[in-house]
Amino acid sequence: MGKPDYSVIGKRKPRIDAVAKVTGEATYTDDMSFPGMLYAKILRSPHAHARIVHIDTGRAERLPGVRAVVTGKDTPGIAYGAVDTERYLPPHMAGQVPVYPNDKHPLAMEKVRYIGDEVAAVAAVDEATAIEALELIDVVYETLPAVFDPVTAMADDAPKIHDFAEKNICNKIYWDFGDVEKGFDKADHIREDRFTTGPVTHTPLEPRGCVALFDQSGKLTVWTSTQSPYIRRQQLSKALNMSESSIRVITPCVGGGFGGKVCFCEPDFHAALLSRITRKPVKITYTREEEFIATSRRHPMIIELKTGVTKDGSLTAIQCHIIADGGAYTHTGPVVMYLAGAFLATAYRLPNIRFSGLRVFTNNMPCGPQRGHGAVQPRFAAESQLDMIAEDLGIDPAEIRLKNILQPGDTTANKFLVRTCGLKECIELSSEQTNWKQRRAAPVPDKGIGISVGAFISGMAIPPHTSSGALVKLHEDGAVTLLTGVTDIGQGSDTILAQIVADELGVAFEDVRVISSDTELTPVHAGSYSSRGAYWGGKAVKAAALDAKRQLFQVAASLLEANPDDLEARDRMIFVKGSPDRAIPTKGVVLASMMESDGNPIMGRGFYKANVDYVNFETGEGNVTGAYSFESQIAEVDVDFESGKARLLKMTIGHDTGTTINPMSVEGQLEGSVSMGMGQALFEESVSREGLIMNPSFVEYGLHTAMDMADVACILVDTENPDDPFEPKEAGEGTQVATPSAIANAIYNATGVRIKELPITREKILRELRIRHIKITCQVGSSISIFV
């Protein structure tokens, strides 16, 4: 297949919602208002681990303005989970995937397991009354021993957080591909290192929020800030003991998600419970503090990594053991542990891999998915260690990567099918643009340069939502409406999907209107997570547009007395190829179809299901996605040796995008990934003491601002799949995978100290400088001894 000649795809187009957002016209959940609407607040546990002895809501219920109070006893008592796949599997698939417990209740039933766990919810006529009512709820707790360290939590005498979890182990993974011991025997050099990563939170600008309304027929409608309305409906259905068809989930504008709004969004449940009682619309909007203490965060990990290489730098074997702090509930723990191991094999040719992982319950805040789900932490370790190996062997860090990278057509040890891979071009182009070899050969005092690579998936299949659908409707004036389940959370999916429709139907980009994320109206799509939007959603939209075009061409062919195969659509017209004078406006064909033909209103239907495996997370074997993205990053930093402060000056990215739909949108995603990765590499850490989050605000958390942001140079590498010319790979998550390690490697290049823990704060840099008493020789010949 040749490369298609696109007219709108591949062009720089502004966001279709940009004007509405910058003028304040866009509607977010907290902007919504309904007659008689009530406002709800949530009572949270002040204890990390306690048994609920008694709850008395009487005083709160008697407060003027309070309309309802709910506790665990007012719920159906059904727990739900984020990896609840078993009940959706057809009989012939029974036993093919592991079963994980559902352990989360919308409101605590008998125990609370972390500070912030939900105990009760109040609906009142205004927020002030709801807050006052919380103070009037009397809860008697029996405090229980708590544990906050995952290693300690596995001890025989550790407090038991969940009865079903032996030694507090949520899930464990082990796999062994190839012959690891033989691989180490072949190695000329073996390194073993230990790395740690800290907990970080999502910090979306828009806190979680929702409005829920039960109508008189018993239909529940929830307007919620979510990344995945179909998953939200699925979880509401289970926890509320309702059929999915009796629940409608609508997503207004979303002010960022980054993985935190995929699942476990308790305000939806609380608002629904309160609306069921009051038959009034109920709104809940989290405070910024609640975002920090009572949602989820990235898994902190302890990573022990052993890698073998030959003297020329060829990788022979890798062995990795990870202990992850999962916090109080299962959440997406099985997924993150699988991905943490799987992504070790996704960038390099590694014939022999052994991975073991333990996700452990603690009485900390729950951990869940975050941008680059499961890949950021192990890639920080692997890329840091690879630089150390390169130094041990006297090999250039870029060269050792080029020697080992995957190639198009490779199959990894764990059966990932790499159909296309532009990693070689990414490394070479970014190295050339940054003058990598010259910079490494002539170092500048206090400044460093470091390289890293990464890879990510373009969606993965977790039952039941393993496909994506789309509808394309043409109007009498030739304009088009696209209905898609893909949720625009700020990443610009509405825009790129509109480009696909416009390109396929030959209409103007401005002619396409997008309706997305309404479970009652839009076709199913798993949600905007695991970077499936452009790949899964884009392919479904393209199929729907092709179906609409086929219908158009059938009608136009009779009007133009031509064969449908001889037609083309462009400039809002349908032409006979090679005969520009034989044409008809698209709107004329739509009208003719409705009035003169068989009455077909021209509605295209499309869907896409990736040819992938339902991977067993615990065995790890199988192809998890239809397209793998690859990227290289070269970080340029400077370090102040007196304060220890490291600054990222510039990041140069090479990203394998497959088919680039909108370069402007892709660049925005890459820049955002670098910003988030930079924060997590240098500044961000959720600090807790005995389970209490000590820095629950933007000011205390250390989130950087635009003034701290580095320059970002983006190199987009389009790769061509001969079997699939339309392959828009992910661009929203994979870049963050490589950012922390690129920065860490650059800091080492500048200082000579290797930091093996995230974040790399100024205190840690100074500590390492003190320990090693580094002597730095400046270009002018002076010597500075660091003993401060």
Alpha carbons 776 and 765: distance in angstroms, whole number: 15
Alpha carbons 659 and 148: distance in angstroms, whole number: 45
Bridge partners, residue 591, by sequence: none
- CA pseudo-torsion sign 577, 580, 582, 586: positive
Side chain identity, residue 430: S
User: 230-234 long-range CB contacts below 8 Å, 24 or more apart?
Assistant: 230/465, 230/485, 230/519, 230/524, 230/525, 230/526, 230/527, 231/262, 231/263, 231/465, 231/526, 231/527, 232/263, 232/265, 232/268, 233/519, 234/84, 234/464
Alpha-carbon Rg for the chain in angstroms: 27
- CB contact at 8 A, 649 and 164: no
On average, the pLDDT of the chain sits at 95
User: Hey, which bits of 501-578 come out as E strands?
Assistant: 512-516, 567-570, 573-576
Q: Give the three-state DSSP class for 55.
A: strand
The rounded average pLDDT for each run of 10 residues, N- to C-terminus, in the chain (788 residues) is: 84 96 97 98 99 99 99 96 71 70 95 99 99 99 99 99 98 96 98 98 97 96 97 94 97 96 90 98 98 97 99 98 98 94 94 98 98 96 99 98 98 96 98 98 95 97 90 98 97 98 98 98 94 96 99 97 97 96 97 91 97 87 96 98 97 98 98 97 96 96 93 97 93 96 98 97 95 53 43
CB-neighbour burial class of residue 681 (10 A; exposed 0-12, middle 13-18, buried 19+): buried
Helix (H) or strand (E) holding 285: strand 282-285
Alpha carbons 666 and 703: distance in angstroms, whole number: 23
Give residue 323's pLDDT.
Answer: 99
* Residue 476 CB contacts under 8 Å (≥ 6 apart), including other chains: 587, 590, 591, 594
Alpha carbons 229 and 235: distance in angstroms, whole number: 10
Nearest to 340 by CA among 289, 306, 375, 365: 375
Give residue 2's pLDDT.
Answer: 62
Give residue 93's pLDDT.
Answer: 67
Give the 3-state secondary structure of 574-638: EEECCEEEEEEEHHHHHHHHHHCCCCCCCEEEEEECCCCCCCCCCCCCCCCCCCEEEEEEEEEEE
CATH 3.30.365.10 positions along the chain are 301-460+615-785, 467-608
Alpha carbons 380 and 650: distance in angstroms, whole number: 19
CATH 3.90.1170.50 positions along the chain are 32-144+205-256+261-293
* Residue 610 φ/ψ, nearest 5 degrees: -70, 145
Alpha carbons 680 and 288: distance in angstroms, whole number: 19
**Domain 32-144+205-256+261-293 belongs in CATH node 3.40.50.12280:** no
Alpha carbons 222 and 29: distance in angstroms, whole number: 10
Helix (H) or strand (E) holding 269: helix 266-278
Query: Which CATH architecture is the domain 301-460+615-785 placed in?
Result: 2-Layer Sandwich (3.30)
Give CA separation, 106 vs 118, 423, 505, 743, in Å.
Answer: 7, 44, 46, 40
Determine what percent of the chain falls in helix, strand and coil, rounding each to the nearest 5: 30, 25, 40
Q: Which two structure tokens, joined as six digits, stand for 610? A: 């990736």
- CB contact at 8 A, 109 and 72: yes
Report if pTM > 0.75.
yes
CB-neighbour burial class of residue 644 (10 A; exposed 0-12, middle 13-18, buried 19+): buried
- CB contact at 8 A, 226 and 232: yes
* Residue 374 CB contacts under 8 Å (≥ 6 apart), including other chains: 335, 336, 337, 338, 339, 340, 342, 343
Q: Which two structure tokens, joined as six digits, stand for 59? A: 């005083």
* Residue 254 CB contacts under 8 Å (≥ 6 apart), including other chains: 28, 206, 225, 226, 227, 261, 487, 488, 489, 490
Q: What is the DSSP letter of 709?
A: P
CATH code for the part of the protein at 467-608: 3.30.365.10
Alpha carbons 236 and 242: distance in angstroms, whole number: 8
